[in-house]
Homo-oligomer: A and B are copies of this chain.
Amino acid sequence: MRRFQESLLGTGLALGVSLLFSVFVDVSLRKGIADPAGSTIERSLPTLGFSNVRDVSVGKTIRFVIEAENEKEAHEKVETICSTFLTNPVIEEAGITIENLEQAEGN
């Protein structure tokens, strides 16, 4: 963490102030791909006394804070991270939500 703050400081001084964005990546299985975790939950719910639940699917989320010059750059960066690393495109897809942290704090 300390290292990041230092690098942040360095960037700020050298390149003008960059912004912080809070990122929420919502990874889910592509349509048509079997979802063993979802079906297991769906199977278990009735035995636990919860009926009338269906279409269960399980996914994962990755939240982080990223530094970028502006929102567009942030989006591009996040999209690359998602498609090359955070998801496996063979079976998964991702929804991305980005929020400017300074703006958020201003609220």
What chain B residues lie within 8 Å of A58 (beta carbons)? 60-63
Q: Are A85 and B48 in contact (CB under 8 A)?
A: yes
Q: Are A52 and B4 in contact (CB under 8 A)?
A: yes
Contacts A59-B60, A60-B60, A64-B42; is A54 near B4 (CB within 8 Å)? Answer: yes
Interface positions, chain A 53-90, Cβ under 8 Å from B, are 53-68, 77, 80-81, 84-86
In this complex, how many residues of chain A approach chain B with their Cβ under 8 Å: the count is 38
Q: Are B60 and A64 in contact (CB under 8 A)?
A: no
A96 within 8 A of B: no
Residues of A within 8 A of B (CB): 1, 4, 7-8, 11, 26, 28, 38, 41-42, 44-45, 48, 50-68, 77, 80-81, 84-86
**Could you jot down 21 A-B contacts, CB within 8 Å?**
A1-B54, A4-B53, A11-B52, A26-B61, A38-B62, A41-B62, A41-B64, A42-B64, A44-B85, A45-B85, A48-B84, A50-B80, A54-B64, A55-B63, A55-B64, A56-B62, A56-B63, A57-B62, A57-B63, A58-B60, A59-B63
